[in-house]
Amino acid sequence: MPQSTRISPSGISPSGISLADLEPLVVLTGAGISAESGVPTFRGEGGIWQSHRAEDLATPFAFERNPELVWEFYNWRRNLIAQCSPNPGHLTLAQMEIVIKDFLLITQNVDGLHHVAGSINILEIHGSIWQIKCTICGEIRIYRQTDEASTVPMCQVCGELMRPDVVWFGEMLDQEKLNQAFESAARANTMLVIGTSALVQPVNTLPLIAKEAGARLIEINPSPTPLSPIMDMRLSGPSGEMLPGWWDEVKKVSLNSN
């Protein structure tokens, strides 16, 4: 039986968690946190991988075979994301960071909406759609082009093909970022796991590492995930509603205990 606590959609936590109970706080987010902003998730109903094959668009082999097609996909995504704004879920995380000093936000999202919301200490562990890198010399450049018809960008240093600076299937994650994520997970008091299906490695091992090291795990997601059974608490609903409700409750508990 899962050892999780289900709480009501009102977001009122029966746990009595206060601010002091949370630090160090690590937050892990996935595509679900941006769903209410209008950014499509990858899996499930309306997910990108329902209508596009990941093998054709998000692997190094796909890019080698057809860079134009992969660029078309990312141009479409950049154009779509540029029209989206942070939702109350993103904004609540930015507010939490002001109060909780030992705070790290690890996001699998490449959309940049956590930055727009005002979060500071962010680890974009799957890269950023707003950055490109040279396939040959590794030059990295900010790329804010949102025209869907833009042509394939070439490197200003060596003239070779640029690619989106994101992590595709079969690629290693940036080792420095990964180390920081593992270390933070191992020393977390609490980890919030928000809007991720927890199907993609190695990021899906972070909650396990935190749990083994004694952290409290809280999942916010309308659907259960493979990690739900190890959660200490589950807020079953959209993060744009559940997270602000839960955060208000934590602040109330803290005020009352002072």
Binding residues for ligand BJW, rule: CB under 6 A, are: 30-33, 35-36, 41-44, 47, 58, 108, 110, 126, 166-172, 195-197, 199-202, 220-223, 225, 238-239
Name the residue nearer to Zn ion (CB basis): 155 or 209. Answer: 155
- End-to-end C-alpha distance for the chain, whole angstroms: 36
Q: What residues does 127 pair with on adjacent strands?
A: 166
Q: Which stretch binds Zn ion (CB under 5 A): 17-25, 46-54, 130-138, 175-183?
A: 130-138
Neighbour count for residue 124 (Cβ, 10 Å): 24
CB of residue 215 to ligand BJW, shortest distance in Å: 20
Q: Which helix (H) or strand (E) holds 240?
A: helix 239-257
Name the residue nearer to Zn ion (CB basis): 120 or 158. Answer: 158
CB of residue 258 to ligand BJW, shortest distance in Å: 31
97 burial level (CB within 10 Å; 0-12, 13-18, 19+): buried
Which residues, 151 to 170, sit near Zn ion by CB under 5 A?
155, 157-158, 160
Q: Are 222 and 247 in contact (CB under 8 A)?
A: no
CB of residue 256 to ligand BJW, shortest distance in Å: 28
Query: Which of 200, 169, 192, 188 is CA-nearest to residue 246?
Result: 192
CB of residue 81 to ligand BJW, shortest distance in Å: 10
Angle of helix 88-99 versus helix 239-257 axis, rounded to 10? 30
Q: Which stretch binds Zn ion (CB under 5 A): 1-9, 94-102, 126-134, 177-185?
A: 126-134
From the list ligand BJW, Zn ion, none, which binds 126 (C-beta under 5 to 8 Å, kind-based)? ligand BJW
Q: Spot the catalytic one: 52, 114, 115, 126.
A: 126
Residues in the chain: 258
Could you confirm whether 52 is annotated as catalytic?
no
Classify 27 as helix, strand or coil: strand
* The pair of three-digit structure tokens given for residue 217, joined into one six-digit string: 């795990």
Positions annotated as catalytic residues are 126
- Interface residues toward Zn ion, by CB under 5 A: 134, 136-137, 139, 155, 157-158, 160
